[in-house]
Amino acid sequence: MSLDNNLNDKSVPLKEKRNSKVVIKAYNLIKDYEIGDFIVRAVDNINIEINEGDFIVIKGPSGAGKTTLLNLIGALDLPTEGEVFSYGVKISDMDHESLAIFRLMNSGFIFQSFHLISTLTAEENVMFPMSLIGERLENQRKVAVDLLKKVNLADRREHLPFQLSSGEQQRVAIARALANNPPIILADEPTANLDKETSLFIRNLFKELKENNKTIIIATHDDFLIELADRIINFQDGKIID
C-alpha cells in the first residue's frame, strides 16, 4: 500500500515533509449537534495555535466541550464552521481516505474508554494502526512487542481486552497510539478512573514523551499532568475562558 497513491495534493505534508514549527491552527471553530429539535453548540468560536513540542492541557467541567475540541483538533471530527490546519493542510479539504491516512501518520489518540478492538489481542491492537498504512507484518510485530515492553505489558500481549484490567487496557491504548510514531498525541482523561500505580506510570510516560519533543494535547484534571503543561486552556460552555 503506497501512501503517496492514497493522498491527494492537499494532504502531502506527512512526516518526511514537515518543516513548520506551528503544527495546528484553528480559526473560528464552531461545532453544533442536533438533539431533537434543539441545536447544542459544543464548541463556540475557538481560535488556537499549537507549536511543535507544546504540552497543552485543556481543563474544564464535564460537558464543557473538551472532548469535542480534541476531536476537531485531531481531525476525528469536522467543524460546523471554521477551519483547522494541521502542518499547513486544511483538514476540511481532504477526502475521507486521505484524512484517515493523515490522521494515522500524524496523530495518536488515547481515549478515556480505551476503544480497543475486543476480538484482537493486546499485540494485535497495537499492530492495527500499522497494518492500516501497509507496514510489513514482521515490522508490525517488532514495534508492537517493543511498545508493550515499554508499557510493562510484554507478558500480556496475547490477552484479549476483557482479560485485562482497566489500567492494562489503558496502557495497551497508549502503546497503540504510539505505534506509527506520530508527532502529535491527543489524550482524553488518560488517568481517569485508574489505580494510583497505573496513573503514576502513565504520568511518567507523558513526561518522557514531552522530553522527546512530542506535541501533546490532553484534556485532564490530573494535577501532575497539569504541572507538566506549557499552557493551560480553561474551557467552559464551549469557550476558552482563560
Measured from the Cβ of residue 85, the count of other Cβ atoms closer than 10 Å reads: 18
For residue range 134-145, list pLDDT tens digits in order: 999 999 999 999
Largest CA distance in the chain: 52
CATH number of the domain where residue 131 is located: 3.40.50.300
Q: In what order do the strands lie in the sheet with 89-90?
A: 38-51, 22-35, 81-86, 89-90
Mean pLDDT of the region 33-50: 92
Asked whether the predicted pLDDT for residue 6 surpasses 70, the reply is no
Q: Which CA distances in Å does 87 have to 11, 13, 23, 51, 93?
A: 9, 7, 5, 10, 13
Q: Please give the residue that has the higher pLDDT: either 163 or 222.
A: 163
Asked whether the predicted pLDDT for residue 18 surpasses 70, the reply is no
For residue range 148-163, list pLDDT tens digits in order: 999 999 999 999 999 9
For residue range 88-117, list pLDDT tens digits in order: 889 878 888 888 988 999 999 999 889 999
How many angstroms separate the CA atoms of 177 and 190, rounded?
Answer: 12
Number of folded domains that form the chain: 1
- Mean pLDDT (the chain) is 88
Domain housing 150: 4-240
